[in-house]
Structure 1
């Protein structure tokens, strides 16, 4: 076939395979970010970070272990893999996203990286602080300096074995402290949101209700009082160990968390929570 005829037929779409795949399929629809969606144990998904982003999550959690100077990501020591580092799974991808349009391109989003320290706190935090401040990543972070918080594309919050005294003494920081709801010095008016912008706790230690039947009135009042106290102090609220098996009990818990204004809803079921939050938003509208 003469080249000129081939090009003409290609333009008309009459030659199989002549049209590049990128033009043969519609552009991917932009994902709407979900402000309350938190990916617990995010690194256990097939595509850490990216699966969460594809579902609109705005907070992801990574457990870290300090091993021979490297920060490895895993749930348990038996799962440690030298190839699965905080840098490779989270820091480098977030850096690339921030440099090429933002975590969610075209949208102003407060994105949280919750880093749960599993090894000894002081040494692990020192290694973490060093890598976060390195020139490769320093531009990414919300930071504290000169007595003020300066917003960045990503807010890093340290949980687990976090060294409070060390973090509190830093005159500049690129990470923040995950407080505990049950600790009066972490929650509310006595706390400093410039250090502790997030307060978290185990749902089962604070509440007996696990979604069966209506939520007891006193527990609903307590949940809303916790959220109100935190919000009055400029803090966000998260619970872990909420029921996460698909079914009416989980949805009942999620409905109460949304109604109370809980900022981060914990799940390992990305599609389940994303669908619930989008359905709830449609019904509210």
Structure 2
């Protein structure tokens, strides 16, 4: 199963051939930094990360390995905000994410989390015209190319940070037209089984409420559990990871019940606004040698 971003690209030979993924060994300029801080959590995704008091830094302090930023293209700048009414020219993708990530990668000799070689996923949710915003994003990402994962003619090299583009679907066309990309595309369940390989769509994201009625109260209906596991198995067979948004996120037994089923089904990213809550949930579980929680 091919996995790009937080775990790098981990493949069987069959999935690698099918996805067109090539993973050369990481070259380090210096000895890796020793692990420090909390053990990274491979499943932890910070939804709307920029709403926390310290965007990016709070998530990393809780061990998160995936963060999400909404972006608006305004006068050529990529501004980070939840809604257009709250835009602030000082809060850019560069200032909140790319520059701090560059500093961390330099400090940790090639990784975001010290001593943890897997890439950080930076999910960039486009809120303005997808094609125009992606072109502006591509120009910015190329300035940080030495820390980013890339795809060159369908062959992927894993870097310290893997940008994945979500949001407005018009971004897809200009991305597919590129021979060299420093970002990847966030697919939807309907993209499963299509010709698009994991080297272009490494992530499948879906709205939990669209496919599942269960919200954590009572037992998980058997038909829904089977549907979840079938979807995850299909994605993994194609070398793609899975994330759901819209899962219950208020602390309580219902949220824990849904998270437990997601982990049991091997869903790759658990989506939350509650950094401490998800960290506590994952660290209380028995360590998973393959997933590192």
Aligned-pair distance for 1:42? Answer: 0.1
Residue number in structure 1 paired with 2:65: 58
Residue number in structure 2 paired with 1:3: none
Q: 1:130 to 1:29 in 2, by over 3 A?
A: closer
CA distance in 2, matches of 1:283, 1:175: 29
Could you tell me whether the CA contact under 8 Å between 1:146 and 1:171 is conserved in 2? yes
Could you tell me whether the CA contact under 8 Å between 1:60 and 1:112 is conserved in 2? yes
SS in 2 for 1:144: strand
Aligned-pair distance for 1:207? Answer: 0.4
Residue number in structure 2 paired with 1:161: 168
Residue number in structure 1 paired with 2:137: 128
Deviations 1:66-123 (A, max 9, x none): 0111100000011100010000000000000111112111121231000000001111
Deviations 1:210-241 (A, max 9, x none): 10001000100110011100000000000000
Q: Pick from 262, 269, 273: which aligns with 1:264?
A: 269
Deviates most, 268-277 or 103-112: 103-112
Residue number in structure 2 paired with 1:178: 186
Deviates most, 100-109 or 41-50: 100-109
Residue number in structure 2 paired with 1:110: 119
CA distance in 2, matches of 1:96, 1:180: 33
Aligned-pair distance for 1:282? Answer: 5.0
Rg larger for: 1
Structure 1: which 5+ runs fail to align?
1-27
TM-score between both structures, scaled by the size of structure 2: 0.84
CA distance in 1, matches of 2:115, 2:90: 32
Aligned-pair distance for 1:147? Answer: 2.8
Structure 1 stretches of 4+ moved >2 Å? 188-191, 281-285
CA RMSD of aligned residues (A): 1.6
Aligned-pair distance for 1:269? Answer: 0.1
Residue number in structure 2 paired with 1:215: 220
Q: Pick from 198, 204, 213: which aligns with 1:199?
A: 204
TM-score between both structures, scaled by the size of structure 1: 0.86
Residue number in structure 1 paired with 2:26: none
Residue number in structure 1 paired with 2:39: 32
| Equivalent residues in 2 for 1:1-20, closer than 5 Å | none
